[in-house]
Amino acid sequence: MTNTTTLNFKTASGHQVLAAAGKKMLRPGGGIATEKLFQWAGFKAGETVLELASSFGYSAIALAQRYGVRVVGVEKNPDSVACARANIAAAGLVGQVEVIEGDIFRLDAISEKFDYVLAEAILTMQSPPGKAKILRSIHDRLKPGGKFLSHELLARDREEQIHRDLAQVIRINSTPLSETNWIAAFSTAGLEVKQHQTGAMALLNLRQILRDEGLLNTARILWNVLTKPAIRSRVLEMRRVFSQYQQELGYIAVCAIA
């Protein structure tokens, strides 16, 4: 839950603005890419998942409910952590799903090793050295043979230009990579890519929003965008750059083995 009363919409990051508009799924390939990751994973009841940047806990809760896995989430934003904990309690999953308030740059603070690490829409936000550091610590948090499930923003071409223009409108260091560069970043950290898929980036595409958020929540998002000028101008700013780079931008979903 983004604290909309204190959020400065001029400087807030893109995902905070979209969350304030009511968007629950904040990842470039939406539910389709996430489902592909779940398919590749082949989760079994009782296995363990570490989720990076777990936000409001929606993925963690879905994993526990659908597959009977135990999930530990790490999330930096205290408002999101509070919202995730309330959602977990409401779902009756306390004890099976836990969200720790913490920084994914400090995964060494967690001693447990996991069967899976899930990270969606978080590595893109990091600089190349930041990506390398997080990927190494993901490798360290996986059991031997454990799976890393990743879903990030793809720049098929013009990486530099896209980085510059996206960082400006999203107000974070958004640095999407090409397919080759993402795969190279994973293998440098000892994560061997077994499966991957790319597709269109449709975060602000109405058809994808309807599929991911459902009719009611889509209506709520549209209402907020139409009636709140501060949200609307940021959404339009992001949409302009997404459209400008429509040919180059996409998502990449990856399953890699430690």
Ligand X SMILES: C[S@@+](CC[C@H](N)C(=O)[O-])C[C@H]1O[C@@H](n2cnc3c(N)ncnc32)[C@H](O)[C@@H]1O
CB 193 within 8 A of CB 185: no
How far from each other are the two terminal CA atoms of the chain, in whole angstroms? 33
Q: Does 53 bind ligand X (CB under 6 A)?
A: yes
Task: At 162, give phi and psi (nearest 5°).
Answer: -65, -45
Q: Of residues 49, 99, 122, 225, which one binds ligand X by CB under 6 A?
A: 122
Task: Please state, in angstroms and as integers, the Cα–Cα distance from residue 173 to each residue in 111, 128, 233, following that order.
Answer: 29, 10, 20
> At closest approach, how far in Å is the CB of 19 from ligand X?
8
Chain center to CA of 228: 25
The residues in 5-24 that bind ligand X, with binding defined as CB under 6 A, are 15
Q: Which residue has the tokens 């959602």?
A: 87
Among 7, 20, 22, 27, binds ligand X (CB under 6 A): 27
Residue 252 interacts with ligand X (CB under 6 A)? no
Q: Candidates 104, 142, 183, 235: give the one binding ligand X (CB under 6 A).
A: 104
Q: Does 105 bind ligand X (CB under 6 A)?
A: yes
In angstroms, give the least distance from the CB of 18 to ligand X: 8
How many secondary structure helices (H) and strands (E) does the chain include? 9, 7
Q: Which of 7, 26, 83, 117 binds ligand X (CB under 6 A)?
A: 26
Residues near ligand X (CB under 6 A): 15, 25-27, 53, 55, 74-77, 80, 103-105, 120-122
